[in-house]
Amino acid sequence: MSPAILKLIAQRLALGILLLLAVSVLIFVGTELLPGDVAQAILGQTATPEALANLRAELGLNDPAHVRYFDWLGGVLTGDLGTALSNGQNISEAMGKRLSNTLFLAMWAAIISVPIAILLGLVAVQHRNGFIDKLISATTLTSISLPEFFIGYLLVYFIAVELQWFPSVSTVYDGMGFADRMSAIALPCATLTLVVLAHMMRMTRAAILNVMQSAYIETAELKGLSPFRIILRHAFPNAIAPIVNVVMLNLAFLVVGVVVVEVIFVYPGMGQYLVDHVSKRDIPVVQACGMIFAAVYISLNIVADIVAIIANPRLRHPK
């Protein structure tokens, strides 16, 4: 790898870290601004003012904001996300399992949706403006236009209730076999796939169509190559950067945006965990979830940037 590329990648990583720090400030300030009082929430409406004051002091809620921020940030940097106010659990431990569940679901949704989306994009380009192209666009656009809770309930009704192929509630537990686990996540996975497919497919199609205008595509046609070889070998590699960008954006959505889907299918992931604790005004948990989501989002976008840099032959092979 050339020094120019390493420098660009180092720049991206440094920027990512800086961005994450900025996000940590935003999350902290944002949760500070939330209405309500944790002590009140924990002790209920009937608590005496003394009890409230004691609890506040115990939880460190009386320290100035910047002190609490650096305490918190120091913890986050050393892997200690603090303790949940509502039940005194260690957040890192409680979240570990949740996060791995969410990543498991997101990973399978990605493994299914990304290849399908790109393949559909390639096929749509090959039949551009024809019936197949329009059919692909119409179907995927319909699925993206429906809200995910609606798709989720449709799947529950038809596949879980009527056909009874997969369970409607995605219960997972330790020691569960792989096949059972896959069967449990089938419906949320399908819902997520339907939600992200259209965006990636359309972007693949648009990026490749854009490249298809290039003179080197004409060169390939005049070599007598088959249309699919032209698209795959000559157009696709030049469209990687925009495609990877939108793929990563959707992967990030699969991790960060699963809240609704997890709630529908009662899947024990990050989304459920976040929703539970928001309603309890459990600020440390909300902050921790926020940081994890931000880290996932930023790192996936950095990956997209780095792939785009590496895919550029001018950077890989300087003059």
The residue with tokens 């790109």 is: 118
87, 142, 226, 279: which one binds other proteins (CB under 8 A)? 226
Please list the helix, strand and coil fractions of the chain in percent, rounded to the nearest 5, in that order: 80, 0, 20
Using the minimum distance from each CB to other proteins, give the nearer residue, 263 or 311: 311
* Residue from 58, 180, 218, 276 binding other proteins (CB under 8 A): 218
Kindly report the CA angle at 69 between 68 and 72, in degrees rounded to 5? 85
Query: What residues numbered 197-216 form the site for other proteins, per CB under 8 A?
Result: 214-216
Of 105-113, 176-184, 230-238, 282-290, the window that binds other proteins (rule: CB under 8 A) is 230-238
Q: Binding segment for other proteins among 16-24, 63-71, 111-119, 217-225 (CB under 8 A)? A: 217-225
**What is the rounded CA–CA span in Å between residue 40 and residue 69?**
21
Decide whether 66 or 317 has the Cβ nearer to other proteins.
Answer: 317
Query: How far apart are alpha carbons 169 and 116 in whole angstroms?
Result: 26
Q: Which parts of 61-100 interact with other proteins (CB under 8 A)?
A: none
Interface with other proteins by CB under 8 A: which range of 141-149, 262-270, 281-289, 310-318? 310-318
**In this structure, are residues 231 and 125 in contact, taking their beta carbons and an 8 Å threshold?**
yes
- Give, in degrees to the nearest 5, the angle at Cα 223 between 222 and 225: 105
- Strand, helix or coil for residue 85: coil
Number of amino acids touching other proteins (CB under 8 A): 22
Contacts of 296 (CB under 8 A, 6+ apart): 252, 255, 256
Among 24, 238, 250, 287, binds other proteins (CB under 8 A): 238
Task: Return residues touching other proteins (CB under 8 A).
Answer: 214-216, 218-226, 229, 233-234, 237-238, 311, 313-314, 317, 319
